[in-house]
């Protein structure tokens, strides 16, 4: 599929899933804007995009800060003249539970990035996506609907559950404007966020528990995102990428 002439905005684009999404879109001819906090890593991803397509436009921003969120869409449209696809990928993961003293702090921190920023970016992007009949893809998680016997991920899971419901509501509300909204729900993916999740040898653990005996790679998620960005009859849906893990719990 070709995305020549399309402008794609990817948050959390400095590493992992977001980086692969950016590179995959660039390979298919899209103009890509990537957002993150680490400028050095963003420029590395931009260079990867240039090797397969066009150099990505880098936006250094902290999605926990309202003032940063407000200029992301504005800068993208100023630089690229339009917006066709918004990929809300940025997220933080903190271990916390009912029995830890930092629960409310974790709830607040994760809410800002994993849910509030998504809602705010969606609202800011809608006028531009209406013009292009574009679409939004939210990166959720199977933890939105399953505990995976990991109570320490309570704050993260609650926000992802909220994100999935926001996906459905926004899909319904934005359909008359010609805007589609969908979610991708990965299970464990081989990224730094998984390695830092506080689980001993996470890749080995989830590979053994998975019916397919493998763990997803960032490119697995990117491929589904590119499919959804072009799936004209799909909205309000969520696609699970977990090697069958969810059905085994």
Q: Hey, which residues are catalytic here?
A: 156
DSSP class of 238:
E
164 with 118: CB under 8 angstroms?
no
Backbone φ, ψ for residue 75 (5° rounding): -65, -40
Determine the 3-state secondary structure of 54 from DSSP. coil
């Amino acid at each position: 599929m070709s995305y020549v002439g399309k402008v794609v905005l990817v948050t959390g684009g400095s590493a992992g899933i977001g980086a692969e999404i950016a590179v995959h879109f660039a390979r298919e001819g899209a103009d890509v804007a990537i957002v993150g906090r680490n400028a050095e890593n963003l420029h590395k991803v931009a260079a990867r995009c240039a090797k397969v397509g066009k150099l990505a436009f880098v936006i250094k921003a902290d999605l926990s800060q309202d003032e940063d969120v407000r200029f992301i869409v504005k800068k993208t449209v100023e630089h690229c003249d339009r917006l066709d696809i918004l990929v809300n990928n940025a997220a933080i993961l903190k271990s916390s539970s009912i029995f830890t003293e930092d629960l409310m702090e974790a709830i607040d921190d994760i809410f800002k990035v994993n849910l509030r920023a998504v809602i705010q970016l969606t609202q800011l992007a809608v006028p531009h996506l209406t013009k292009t009949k574009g679409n939004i893809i939210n990166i959720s998680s199977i933890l939105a609907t399953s505990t995976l016997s990991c109570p320490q991920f309570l704050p993260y899971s609650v926000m992802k559950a909220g994100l999935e419901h926001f996906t459905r509501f926004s899909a319904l509300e934005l359909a008359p404007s010609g805007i589609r909204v969908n979610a991708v729900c990965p299970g464990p993916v081989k990224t730094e966020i998984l390695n830092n999740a506080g689980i001993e040898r996470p890749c080995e653990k989830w590979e053994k528990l998975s019916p397919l005996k493998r763990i997803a790679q960032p490119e697995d998620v990117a491929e589904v995102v590119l499919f959804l960005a072009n799936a004209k009859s799909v909205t309000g849906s969520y696609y699970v990428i977990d090697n069958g893990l969810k059905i085994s719990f």
